[in-house]
Structure 1
Amino acid sequence: MVRHNNQLPNNLTQLQNLIKRDPDSYKEEFQQQYAHFETTLEIFNLNPTQYNKKLDEQAMFLAQVAQCYLKDMTAFPQKIVDVLKTHNTILHNDMRLALCKCLILLRNKNFVTPFDLLELFFQLLRCQDKNLREFLKTHIITDIKNMNMKHKDMKLNSTLQNFMFSVLRDTNAKAAKLSVDILIELYHKNLWNDSKTVNIIAEVGCFSKITKVMVASLKFFLGRDEAEKEENSDSEDEIDPRDTMISNKFNKKTRKREKMVEKVKKIAKKKKKKDKAPAFSFSALHLINNPQGFAEKLFKQVESSNERFEVKLMGLDVVSRLIGLHSLFLFNFYPFVARLLLPHQREVTRILQFAAQASHELVPPEVIEPVMKAIANNFITERNSTDVMAVGLNAVREICGRCPLAITEDLLRDLVQYKSYKEKSVMMAARSLIQLFRQTMPDILHKKDRGRPTEASEQLTSKKYGEIDIKDYIPGSEALLEKEEIKETRKQVKGKKRKNQNDSDSDDWVDVGSSDSEVNISDSDESEEEEVSEEEEEGEEEAEEGDEEAADEESKDKEPKPTDENKEQRKVLKAKRKLTKEEMAEKINTVREIAMEKIFDDEDFKRIEKAQLKKHITGVKRSKAVVDEDEEQNGELVELSAIENIHKKRKHDKNARLESVMKGREERDKFGYKDRRKNIHCSKTNREKRKTKNYQMVKHKAKGKIKRSFKDKQIAFRNYLIKQKKMK
C-alpha cells in the first residue's frame, strides 16, 4: 500500500477512511492529529467567543475514529464536556452545536453515559439558542426511546426521571418548559407512561410559577387535539389517494375532476379515523394517586390566580374532569361556577360544560342547586334569545343525565312547559329533557309527559340519594327461559289450528283468541326485533318532534268502536299480562339458578339484549322513541356540541337562498374564456379571432365544412389534376 503521508494531515476525510480500514498502520497519524487537537483546544480557550473551524473538524474526526483507539481516547470526551461546561453561555452558537454533535456521536459509541450527557444538555438549555434547544430535545427523546427499544431498564429510567423532575423545579423557564415537554412526549410515546411521571407533572408542573410550564401541564391532562394527533400519527394503514392525484395530473383539468379529488381525500380521512383503535384521552387522570387533594389544591390556585382568563378556564376544565371521573366532593366548585353563568360571559358554553362534567350521582342536590338556579334564571327566560334558552335547556339535560336529583320536581315541570314553544330550537331542547327523564325518573314528570307505559318504564324505580341498584341476576335473561316454551306453544297452536279447520261449525272463538294471543306474546320475537331495528334507524329528530298528545287523539279517532267481542278479548289479554307479572319473581329465581350452572355464550347475550330493547316498546302502539344506552349518555367527557346543539328551521326566502349560492362560489375560480384564458390581455386563439373577421374572409372555410357529394368531389379532383398538369 502506497502511503501519501504528506497529504494525510490536511485531508482528514481520507485519513478517517484509512484509519477505519487499518487502525494499526495509521496510529502515528492519529496521535499527530490528537496532539494538534490539544494545541488547538488550548488556543481556543483563550478566546472562546469566536468560531474555530479547525477545532470543529478535528473534534469530529477524533469522534469518528474513537472506537479504533479506545485506550488513547479515554480522556477525549471529558475535554469536550469541560469546554461546554466552562464556556456554555459565551460560546459561539455554531461551535456549541458542533461540540454537542461530537458528544452525541461519542454517546452512540458508549463513550459517555446517558446520565452525564443528559445533565450537561439540560445545563445547555439555558443558552439563548433556539435551534440548539430543539436539537437537544429531539436527541434526548430519541436516546431514551432507543434505550427502551429492546427492554426497559427500570433502574436507569428511574435515575433519569429523578433528574428530569429536579430540572422541572428549576427556576430557569426554558429548561423547565423543555423538561415538561420531553416528559409529555415520552408519555405519549408510551415510554414513560407510569404513574410516577403523571404525578410529578401534576404536583410540580400544574403548580409551577412559570406560566408556560403550568399551561403545558394542564394541556397534558386535557388531552391532545384530534388535529394534532392526525399530524403526529405514523399509521401505515392510511388510504393514499395517490392514484387519483396522478390521474388528475395527466387528465384534462375540469371542475368536476377537482371535486372528485377533494371527495377522495375526505373519504380517505374518514376511513383513517374509523380504522383507528379507540383512544383513551383521559388515562393520565386515572393514574393520579390523590385526586381529591390534587383537585382541591388546583381549584384553590384557580380562585386566587391572576393569570389570563383562558388559563383559568383550563384549570377549571381539569378540576371538573377530576370531579366527574373520580366522583369527588368539592362543594366550593359549584357556587364559583354559578357566579360565571351569565349569557354575556365569555366562553359561557364551556363553563356550562364544566358544570356538567363536575356532576355525578353522589353530589348532594342542595350543593348543585345554585348552578341549576343560575341556569334557569339567567338562560331559560323569554327575555333572552331562543338560542340562549336552548343552550340553557341542553345544559340542564346534560347535568341531569349525570345527576338526576340535581333538579327539583317543580323546576322540571316548569322547564317541560317549553315543549310546545313557538321556536323549534327551544321546543326540541325541552323534549330532549322529557325523553331523558322518561328513561331515568318518569315519576317526577307530569302524567301526560310520561308517555305510554312500557315494560321498561314499569320496572324503573326512582333512586334516592346515595342509593345503588344492585342486581344479583342478569336483567333480561328471563328471555332464555322462553326459548323452550316457544317451541311447545307453536306445536300446540298448529295442532289447534288443524282441529279448528275440521270443526268449522263451532263458534268457540275464545280458545282461538287465547291461542292467538299466546302466539303474539311468545312467537313475536322476530317481528318485534325487526320493529326495534327499524325504530333504531329512524332519526332522533322524528322521535322528538312527534307530539304525543296529538298521537293519542289520532289513535283514538282511528281505533274502531269497541264491540262486545273486542272487550272480551282485551279482558283475556289483561289477564295474561297479570299472570306474567305474578310469574316474574319465579322466573327471576329460575334465572339465578341457570346463571349459576350455565355459561352464557354470545347468542344468549344477543337474545338478552333484544329482550331488553323489546321492553321499551312493549305496550306502545306507535312509538318512535329511540332507546339510548345509559353508558353512551353518561360518558367521562361532556361534548361541547351537546350543549351547543341548536335546531334551526331552514330559511326559504330569497336572501337566504342567495347567501347560500354566494357561499358556494367562494372557492370557485373566476369564469374565463372557453379556451381557459383568464387574463383578458393575453393573445387570442385563431378560433377566437375568426369570430371578429369579415365573413368574406372566412367564407371558403365555412363552405368547406359542408359535406360534398361524390360528384362534386370528382369535379374538384379533376380540376386539381388539370391544374397540376398545367404547372408542369
Structure 2
Amino acid sequence: MVRGLLRTSNLPHLQNLIKRDPVSYREEFLQQWNHYESIRQIFQINPAEQATHFRELVTFVSQVAKFYPAETSDFPSHLSSLLLGSYGSLPPDIRHSLIQNLVMLKNKGVVTSFELLKTLFPLLPRTTSSSLRAFIRRTILTDIKTANQRTRNHKLNRAVQAMLFGMIERGMSGAVLGDKGKLRNNPGAERSSDSGDEAMWAVVLTKELWKKGVWDDAKSVAIVASGCFHPVTKVQSASLHFFLGDDEESEGSEDESEDDTVDVKSLEHKREVKKKTRSGDKKMRKVLKAASKKRKRKGAGNTPNFPAIQLLHDPQSFGEKLYDLLQKYDARFSLDHRILVMQLLARVTALHQLTVLSFYTYALKYLTRHQLRVPAILAALAQSVHALTPPDALTPAIRKLAHEFVHPGVGPEVVAAGLNAIREICRRQPWAMEEDLLGDLITYGKSRDKGVMSAARGLLQLYREVNPGMLKRRERGKAASMGLAQGTQPAPFGYAEKPAVDIEGVVLLEDHLRTHGEDKPPSDENDWEGWELESASSDDSSDSGGWIDVESDGGDHLSVSDSEDEDKKSDGKLPPNEESSTDANRTSTLATTKILTPADFALINDLRLQAATKAVESGGGSAAKRKLASLEAAKKAADSSGPGDTPTFVSENDILGPRKKAKADYEERMASIARGREGREKFGSLKGKRKKETASSSTNREKARNKPIMMIMGSKGVRGKKKQSLREKQKRLRAHIDRAKKGHH
C-alpha cells in the first residue's frame, strides 16, 4: 500500500484500513490525532476558521476511537466541553456533527449512557433548531428505554432522575409572574434565565417516559409533582395536565398557545387550487386525522392519571400546597389555570380523602350562574367531597348553589346544573343537606323541562336510598317507608361501612361454572390474554414464574342460585324466576379455591347484568329497574375507560345533565345524507325511463307544453303571437284545420 495515499483528504480510506488492522496503522492515526489537536486549538479561538476540516477530523476520530482507548481517553470530554461551553458560538452544522459523534461514541461503548445524557440534557433548552432538538429528545428517550429494556437499570434511573430534579429546582426561587397577559407584554421576563425551559423539558421527558412505561415509580411522580409549584406557569400547566390525564403533547418552548382548530373546508379548497401531489394529499390526511383524534378526545373527556396520584408522597401536604398556590396567586393566574389547579386538588382530595376545608370557602365566590366555565368548577367542587368531609363545611356551598342556580328567575339549564351539582355533593356526603332545603329542591321534579325534572328526581331518589328520614312521608316511597318501619337508620357521619365478606356476584359465577361442569371451560385457558399484567421486568415480579392454578379440593358445592336484596319486588316477594333462591346471604367459597382472572370478573359483570334483566322482565319493581340501570351505567363506564381503570368520576356532563340534541355540524349532516342514500338509485328524473318501453328522455316540445303559463309569458313565441297581423293569424288557423283533417282521415 502506498503511504502517500494516506493524506488528510483520504480520511475515509484510512478509517477503513484502521478498522481492519489497527495495530499496523497506529502511526498514521497518531499523525491525524496530533493534527486534530492543533486544529481544535485553532477552532476554539475562531470557530469559523477550519470548521469543515475540524468536522471531518472529529468524525474520523469518533469512528476509530475504540481501537486506541489510551490515546483518545480525553476525546469525549473535548466534545462535551465544546458543546456545553461554546454552544452559542458554534455553527449549526458543527453542533449537529458533534452531537452525532458523541452519540456514536456511546453506541461504540466509548462513553457511558450517563455521560452522554449529562451532556444532552443541558442542550435541550438551548437548542433553537427544531430538527436538532427532536434528535436530542429522541436520543435521550431511546437511550433510557434501551437501558431499562431487559431489567431495570436502577443506577442510571437514579442518576437521571437526580438530574431532572436539579433542572426543576434551579428555577424554584424565581417569582411567579402568572399568565394573564403579563408574559406577552414582557416576553423577556420569564426568559431571564433558562430555568423555565430547563424545568419544562424535565417535566416533558418524565411524562414521556411514564407514558411509554419505562418509569412507573414514585420518584418519577415526585419530579412532576415538584413541577406543579414551579414559578413558571407553563411548567405548572404541563405538570397539572400529567396528573389530570390530558394527552397534551408538550414540546417544550415550541408549544406556544396555538389554535388547534382545523378548518376542513379551507384545507380542501387549498388542495383543489394548488398542484395535486401525493405528498400534499398525505399531509392533509395526517392533519385531518390528528384533528379528528383531538376532537374525539375533547368530546369524550380524559381519565385522570390515578396511578400517579396514588404514588404521591405525603398527599396531605401536596393538597395544602396546591391550595396555598391557588389562594396566593389567585389574581395572577388566568381562570383556565385556576380551574386546572382546582381539578387536581379535587382529584387528590377525593382519592386520598384529604381535609382541606378552606377550599370549600374559597370556591364560594365562583358559585354564580354568570361565572365562566362554571360546569367545570362545579364538577371540581363535587369531586373534592368524600365521606370524611365535615358536613358543616359543605352546607354553605349547598345553600349558595340553591340561591344562585335553583329559582324560577333563571333558565332551565341553570336550574338543572345547580340540582345536579347539589346531588353529586350529597351523594358523597348526604349529611350536608338541610331538611327544609331538600323539601324545596325536590318540588322541581314536576317541572316540564326534562333536565330539571331528571335532576330533581335524582336528588329525591338519592335520599330515598341514603336517608329517607329527611323526606316527607308521602315522598319516601314504599321501600324506604318499610325500611324505616323496620328500624333501619342511616349510618351517622364518621361511621365506616361494614366490611365486605364476599365478592358481589361471585355466587353467580360459581353457579355458572357448575352448570358448565366442574372442570374449567376450554375458553378460560387464555383468561389473561388481552389484559394488562405486571411487567416481568419489575422488581416484585422478576422472580415470578407465572400464575399458579389452585385446584379445588373436590368439596361439594351448594346447588343454590344468587339472590340479591335489590331484586326483590316492591310487595316484598321475590321475582318468579328466583322464588326458590332463599339463601341470599350465602357466601361463596369459589374465591378461596380459584384465582379470579380479569376474564372472570368480566363474566361476573355480565352474569349480574343478565340476572338484573331477568328480574326486571319478571316484574321486579322499581328496585330491580334501578339495579339494572346502575349495572348498565357501570358497564358503559368500564367499556369507555378500559379494563383495570378506576371507576368514573364527576365530569361536566354529569353537572349539565341530559340536554337537547345539539345541532349537527356539516360533517354529521353530510354523513346522515349519505346514509339515507344507501340502496337508492342515483338521483335524477326517471320520467321516460320507467313509463316507456324504451328508455328515453322527453322532448323540448313536451317540456314546453307542461310549463306553467307564467313561465312562458315572456318567451319569444308568446310575444310573437301577440304581434301577429290578421293575415298571419288566418294562415295559422288554416294550417291547423288542414292538419286536423289529415289526421281525421
Secondary structure of 2:5's aligned partner: coil
1:455–1:145 distance in 2 versus 1, CA, 3 Å: farther
Instruction: Note if contact 2:567-2:620 (Cα within 8 Å) is conserved in structure 1.
Output: no
- Amino acid in the other structure paired with 2:95: R
Cα-to-partner distance string for 1:82-128 (whole Å, 9 max, x where unaligned)? 32233233222321221111111112222223333333333334535
Instruction: Note if contact 2:62-2:105 (Cα within 8 Å) is conserved in structure 1.
Output: yes
Counterpart position of 1:135: 135
CA shift for structure 1 position 608: 8.8
1:428-577 equivalences in 2 (<5 Å):
428-453=454-479, 461-470=489-498, 473-474=501-502
Secondary structure of 1:361's aligned partner: coil
Cα-to-partner distance string for 1:383-430 (whole Å, 9 max, x where unaligned)? 111111111112122222222222222222211111111222211222
Counterpart position of 1:122: 121
Given candidates 241, 259, 263, the residue that maps to 1:219 is 241
Counterpart position of 2:650: 638
1:180–1:606 distance in 2 versus 1, CA, 3 Å: closer
Counterpart position of 1:197: 220
Task: Provide the rounded CA distance (Å) in 2 between the counterparts of 1:646 and 1:47.
Answer: 71
1:286-365 equivalences in 2 (<5 Å):
286-305=310-329, 306-365=332-391
CA shift for structure 1 position 155: 2.6
Matched, 1:89 2:115: no
Instruction: Note if contact 1:320-1:358 (Cα within 8 Å) is conserved in structure 2.
Output: yes
Task: Provide the rounded CA distance (Å) in 2 between the counterparts of 1:605 and 1:86.
Answer: 62
Secondary structure of 1:65's aligned partner: helix
1:66-465 equivalences in 2 (<5 Å):
66-127=65-126, 129-131=128-130, 132-171=132-171, 172-202=195-225, 204-225=226-247, 281-305=305-329, 306-453=332-479, 461-465=489-493
Cα-to-partner distance string for 1:593-625 (whole Å, 9 max, x where unaligned)? 999999999899999998899999987389744
CA shift for structure 1 position 150: 1.9
For structure 1, the residue ranges without an aligned partner over 5 or more in a row are: 229-260, 484-522, 536-551, 553-572, 578-583, 651-655, 677-690, 693-728
1:623–1:185 distance in 2 versus 1, CA, 3 Å: closer
- Amino acid in the other structure paired with 1:225: D
1:63–1:339 distance in 2 versus 1, CA, 3 Å: same
1:59–1:354 distance in 2 versus 1, CA, 3 Å: same
Task: Provide the rounded CA distance (Å) in 2 between the counterparts of 1:621 and 1:301.
Answer: 48
What is the root-mean-square deviation in Å for CA atoms of aligned residues? 5.0
Moved more, 128-137 or 629-638: 629-638
Secondary structure of 2:87's aligned partner: coil
Cα-to-partner distance string for 1:663-702 (whole Å, 9 max, x where unaligned)? 7259999xxxx999xxxxxxxxxxxxxx99xxxxxxxxxx
1:666–1:524 distance in 2 versus 1, CA, 3 Å: closer
1:524–1:30 distance in 2 versus 1, CA, 3 Å: closer
Task: Provide the rounded CA distance (Å) in 2 between the counterparts of 1:59 and 1:606.
Answer: 66
- Amino acid in the other structure paired with 1:647: R
- Amino acid in the other structure paired with 1:205: G
- Amino acid in the other structure paired with 2:621: V
Instruction: Note if contact 1:394-1:642 (Cα within 8 Å) is conserved in structure 2.
Output: yes
Counterpart position of 1:713: none
Task: Provide the rounded CA distance (Å) in 2 between the counterparts of 1:119 and 1:98.
Answer: 18
Identity among equivalent positions (%) equals 32
- Amino acid in the other structure paired with 1:48: P
Task: Provide the rounded CA distance (Å) in 1 between the counterparts of 2:667 and 2:311.
Answer: 51
CA shift for structure 1 position 347: 0.8
Instruction: Note if contact 2:168-2:202 (Cα within 8 Å) is conserved in structure 1.
Output: yes
Task: Provide the rounded CA distance (Å) in 1 between the counterparts of 2:593 and 2:671.
Answer: 65
Instruction: Note if contact 1:476-1:609 (Cα within 8 Å) is conserved in structure 2.
Output: no
Task: Provide the rounded CA distance (Å) in 2 between the counterparts of 1:464 and 1:61.
Answer: 79
Instruction: Note if contact 1:452-1:619 (Cα within 8 Å) is conserved in structure 2.
Output: no
Counterpart position of 2:10: 11
Instruction: Note if contact 1:393-1:430 (Cα within 8 Å) is conserved in structure 2.
Output: yes
Higher helix share: 1
Task: Provide the rounded CA distance (Å) in 2 between the counterparts of 1:596 and 1:76.
Answer: 63
Structure showing greater relative contact order (alpha-carbon pairs closer than 8 Å, 6 or more residues apart)? 1
Counterpart position of 1:620: 621
Secondary structure of 1:13's aligned partner: helix
Task: Provide the rounded CA distance (Å) in 2 between the counterparts of 1:198 and 1:365.
Answer: 32
Secondary structure of 1:88's aligned partner: coil
Instruction: Note if contact 2:612-2:624 (Cα within 8 Å) is conserved in structure 1.
Output: no
CA shift for structure 1 position 70: 2.6
1:281–1:99 distance in 2 versus 1, CA, 3 Å: same
Q: Based on CA coordinates, which of the two structures has the bigger radius of gyration?
A: 1
1:605–1:384 distance in 2 versus 1, CA, 3 Å: closer
- Amino acid in the other structure paired with 2:204: D
CA shift for structure 1 position 660: 8.4
Counterpart position of 2:258: none
Instruction: Note if contact 1:321-1:636 (Cα within 8 Å) is conserved in structure 2.
Output: no
Task: Provide the rounded CA distance (Å) in 2 between the counterparts of 1:197 and 1:349.
Answer: 32
Count of residue correspondences:
539
1:86–1:624 distance in 2 versus 1, CA, 3 Å: closer
CA shift for structure 1 position 453: 2.3
- Amino acid in the other structure paired with 1:88: Y
Task: Provide the rounded CA distance (Å) in 2 between the counterparts of 1:643 and 1:336.
Answer: 20
CA shift for structure 1 position 81: 2.3
Given candidates 648, 654, 659, the residue that maps to 2:660 is 648
CA shift for structure 1 position 433: 2.2
Task: Provide the rounded CA distance (Å) in 2 between the counterparts of 1:455 and 1:611.
Answer: 26
CA shift for structure 1 position 451: 3.4
For structure 2, the residue ranges without an aligned partner over 5 or more in a row are: 172-194, 251-284, 512-558, 575-580, 638-645, 675-681, 685-698, 701-745
- Amino acid in the other structure paired with 2:94: M
- Amino acid in the other structure paired with 1:213: V
Counterpart position of 1:26: 25
Task: Provide the rounded CA distance (Å) in 2 between the counterparts of 1:148 and 1:474.
Answer: 40
Secondary structure of 1:74's aligned partner: coil
Instruction: Note if contact 2:502-2:588 (Cα within 8 Å) is conserved in structure 1.
Output: no
1:68–1:623 distance in 2 versus 1, CA, 3 Å: closer
Secondary structure of 2:498's aligned partner: coil
- Amino acid in the other structure paired with 2:669: G
Q: Name the TM-score, length of structure 2 as normaliser.
A: 0.62
1:453–1:51 distance in 2 versus 1, CA, 3 Å: farther
Cα-to-partner distance string for 1:182-231 (whole Å, 9 max, x where unaligned)? 122222222232112212332x3111112222221111111133999xxx
CA shift for structure 1 position 52: 0.9
Cα-to-partner distance string for 1:290-328 (whole Å, 9 max, x where unaligned)? 111111111011111112222111111111111111111
Q: Name the TM-score, length of structure 1 as normaliser.
A: 0.63
